[in-house]
Structure 1
Amino acid sequence: MSEYQYYEFQAVDRPLTKDELEGIRALSSRARISATHFVNEYHYGNFRGDERKLMEQVYDAHLYFANWGSRRLMLRLPTTLLPARSAEPYCAEGALTSWTRKGHLLLDFAYEAEDGGEWDFETSFTLASFTTLRTELAAGDLRPLYLAWLSALTRWELEEDVDEDEYTSTVEPPVPAGLARLTGPQQALADFLNVDPHLLTAAARASSAAPSRTGDKDALTAWIRALPPREKDTLLLDAALGTAPQPGPVLLARHRAASRGTAEPSTATRRRSAAELLDAAHDVRSEHTRQQEQARAQARRAEQGARESHLDRLAKNTEQAWQDIAHLIGQKQPGPYDAAVTLLKDLREVHDRAGTPEEFTRHLYDLREQHRSKPSLMRRFTDADLTAR
C-alpha cells in the first residue's frame, strides 16, 4: 500500500505577513499556499515543517491524516476566550492535549488506529469541516472537548492490560449540555476521533438540553443593547478593519460569563466513573442490537406476507399468467425474458402449494419445445432450474 499524508493549515484571526508567508513557502515547493491557507498531500516523503511551532506562531487550525490511521486536529484560541483551566479536565493521553503560548490556548486532538486497518479510499477530511469548532469553544460550548475524552475512553476499553480498578477510579470530566444533539462540526469531530456512538448515547443521558436558540438570542440582544456605545463602536471598527479576532465569539463568551454560563458543563449531576459509562454503553449497544434484530424480523415477516399475497393473487388466474409469459417471450428481448423467468418461478411455487406440480411441468415442457430455438431464453431457463423433468 502506498503512503499518503494530508496536511492543511488555516489562519483565521489574521492573515500571514509577507515575511511569515515567505517562511512557509520555504517549507514546501508543491503546496497550495496563500496568506490564510496551506494545503499539501504527500505520497512519499514528509512535511519539513514543525506543525506545533507553526500553530504556536501563525496558524489557528491544522488538520492531518494519513492512510495508516493517524489523525490530528489542532485549534488555537486566545486564552481570553477559552482559558487553559477550562480545557484541562478533558485532556486525556492520546486523545487531547493542551498548552498555552503567547496568550493563546492550543488544543491538540488526536486519534491513532491500533493496527492501522485497511485504508478506506473514500475517507477524506477537510479543515473546513472543523474550523467552526473554534467559534463554538470560544462561546463556551465545551462539547468538542468532552468528545475527545470519550474517544480516549473508547480506545482505553480495548486495551488488554488495564486494571479494572482504574475504570472504577477514573471519573468523567464535567458533562456539557447538548450532547444528545451535536452540531455538524461536532459530529464530524466525533467521527474523526472514532467515538463509539453507543458510548456517546450513554454519556448524553447526563447531559441537559442545549440552551434554546430563541431564548439565548433574546437574552443576548438585551445584553448587547446595554453595552456602552463607545465599546460597540470599537467592536464594529475592529470587525470592519479586521484588526482583531472576530467579535462574535468574544461577545458570546462575555455574555455567557455574565449570565453565569448557561452553556457551561452541568455540575448538578453526579460524575460517573469510566466503568459506569462503559457498562451503560454496553446496555445501549445490546438494546440497539435487539432493536435491529427485531426490525429485521419484522421486515422478513412483511416481505413474506407480501410474497404470500402475490402468490395468492397469481393462483386465482394461472391461465392469465401463462398468457403473460407467452407475451413476454414474444418480445424477444433480455428484459422481458428475465421477467418471464421470474413469473415462471412464481408459477412453479403456486403449483407446488396447490399440489399440482405435474401441471406446471407439462406447461413448462410445451414452452421449452416451442422456444428451443431461442438460446438466450433457454440459457435463462437452465440457470433458473426451469427444466422439464
Structure 2
Amino acid sequence: MSEYQYYEFLAVDHELDDDQQAELRALSTRADITATRFTNEYHWGDFGGNPMTMMERYFDAHLYFANWGTHSLMIKLPEQFLDLDTAQAYCPTDSVSAWRHDSHVILSLCSDDEEGGGWDETDETRLSELIPIRADLAAGDHRALYLGWLVAAQTELDEDELEPPVPPGLNRLTRSLRALAEFLRIDDDLLTVAAQASGRPRDDGLAEFVKGLPQQEKDALLVRSVTGDPHVTAEVRRRFRRRNAAAPAAGTRTAGELLEAASARRTEREGVATARAAAEALLRGQTRAEARELRLEALAADEENAWRKVAALIENKRPADYDNAVVLLADLKAVSARTGETATFAERFEGLRTEHRRKPSLLERFERSGL
C-alpha cells in the first residue's frame, strides 16, 4: 500500500488575508488555499508545516488522517466559550489534550490504529462532517469532550482514573458526534455503557428564553449578528443551557469499571447474536428439509414427467441446465429408495450415461454428484 496523508484546516471566525495566504503558500506549493481553507494530500513525503502552529496562528479547526492508522482532530475556540480547566478535565493525556494560546483554547483529539488494515481514503471523514461540533462546544455542549475522554480511557488512562462529569445526551448523539465517535474509533459497547449515566438534554424553551431577554439586550445581539459577529448564536445557546439545565454531576465510575462493563456487555451481546444465528440456521435447515419433503412427494406422484424434464434439460446442452438435471436426478434417486425401486432408477440412469457418453461436462457432473 502506498503512503497517504490528508491535511485539512478551516478558518471559521475570520478570513485569511493575502499575507497570511502567502505565508501558508510558502509551506506548501501544492495545497489548495483559500481565505477560509487549506487542504493538501500526500502520497509520498511529508508536510513541511506544523499543524499546532498553524492552528495557533491561522485556523479554527484541523483534521488529519494517514493510511497507517492515525486520526486527529483539533478545534480552537475563544476561551470565554471553552474554559481551559474544563477542557483539561476531559483531555488529560498526550493523545487527548488541550492548551491555551493567547485568548483561545485548543482541543486536540487523536486516535491511532497500528494495524491500519482495510483502509480506503474514500471512506474517511472530512472536516465538514465534524465542524458543527465546534459550535456545540461553544454553546456549552461537552459531549465531544467526553468522547475524547473515552478515547483516553480505551488507550492510556489508569484503570482507577475517575471519569469527568457525564454530559446529558450521550445516548442521543448528533450526526457530527456519531461521526466523531467513529473517527476516533470509540468502542460502541463502551459508549453505550457510558451513556447509561447521561441525562436527557433539555433543549425546549429556547424561543421563550429569547423572548424574555430585555429589549435592549436583544437589540444589541441583533446588531452583533447582522454585523458579522460569529459568536452570537453560541453565546445565546450557552446562556440558555446554563439557565435551563444544572451542570452535570461529577462522574462516579472509573475507567476500569467502564471498560469492564463494556467487555461484559460485548460478551452478552455476542452470545445473544450467536444464539440467534444458531436458531436461524436451524430454522433454515428445517425449512429446507420440509421443502424437499414436499418436492419428493410431488415427484413420487409423477416420476415419468420428472424423467422427461431431465431429458429436456440435458438436450439444452447448457451448464446451468446440466446442474438442474443433476439436482432432479438426485431427487429421483431419493424417491426410488423410498419406494424400493432403486434397481429401476439405476437402470434408467445408466441408460442416460450411455446415451450421453459424448458429453464430458455432463458426465463430470454425474461423477461429482455421486449419482
Q: Same fold (TM over 0.5)?
A: yes
Contact 1:6/1:64, CA 8 A, preserved across alignment: yes
Q: Give the alignment of 1:129-208 within 5 angstroms.
A: 129-156=129-156, 166-167=158-159, 169-208=160-199
Q: Give the alignment of 1:1-389 within 5 angstroms.
A: 1-113=1-113, 115-118=114-117, 120-121=119-120, 123-156=123-156, 166-167=158-159, 169-211=160-202, 216-217=203-204, 219-241=205-227, 243-261=228-246, 264-267=247-250, 271-318=252-299, 319=303, 320-345=305-330, 361-382=346-367, 385-388=368-371
- Aligned partner of 1:142: which letter? H
Contact 2:139/2:238, CA 8 A, preserved across alignment: yes
Supply the distance in 1 between the matched residues of 2:346 and 2:172 (Cα, whole angstroms): 60
Secondary structure in structure 2 of the residue aligned to 1:38? strand
1:198 and 1:120, CA in 2 relative to 1: closer, same or farther beyond 3 A?
same
- Aligned partner of 2:253: which letter? R
- Aligned partner of 1:54: which letter? M
Contact 1:348/1:357, CA 8 A, preserved across alignment: yes
Secondary structure in structure 2 of the residue aligned to 1:109? strand
1:331 and 1:238, CA in 2 relative to 1: closer, same or farther beyond 3 A?
farther
Structure 2 stretches lacking a partner, 5+ long:
none
CA deviations 1:176-206 (Å, max 9, x no partner) are 2222232221121112211122212221222
Supply the distance in 2 between the matched residues of 1:93 and 1:55 (Cα, whole angstroms): 19
CA deviations 1:295-316 (Å, max 9, x no partner) are 1111111110111111111111
Aligned residues: 366
1:371 and 1:58, CA in 2 relative to 1: closer, same or farther beyond 3 A?
same
The Cα of 1:170 is off from its aligned counterpart by 1.5
Superposed CA RMSD: 2.6
1:116 and 1:311, CA in 2 relative to 1: closer, same or farther beyond 3 A?
closer
The Cα of 1:330 is off from its aligned counterpart by 4.0
- Counterpart of 1:161 in structure 2 is none
1:85 and 1:345, CA in 2 relative to 1: closer, same or farther beyond 3 A?
farther
The Cα of 1:253 is off from its aligned counterpart by 0.7
TM-score norm. by structure 1 comes to 0.84
- Aligned partner of 1:179: which letter? L
The Cα of 1:266 is off from its aligned counterpart by 4.0
Secondary structure in structure 2 of the residue aligned to 1:63? strand
The Cα of 1:118 is off from its aligned counterpart by 2.9
The Cα of 1:376 is off from its aligned counterpart by 4.1
Structure 1 stretches lacking a partner, 5+ long:
158-165
Larger Rg belongs to: 2
Contact 1:68/1:116, CA 8 A, preserved across alignment: yes
Contact 1:61/1:76, CA 8 A, preserved across alignment: yes
1:178 and 1:356, CA in 2 relative to 1: closer, same or farther beyond 3 A?
farther
118-127 or 312-321, which deviates more: 118-127
Contact 1:12/1:36, CA 8 A, preserved across alignment: yes
The Cα of 1:235 is off from its aligned counterpart by 3.3
TM-score norm. by structure 2 comes to 0.88
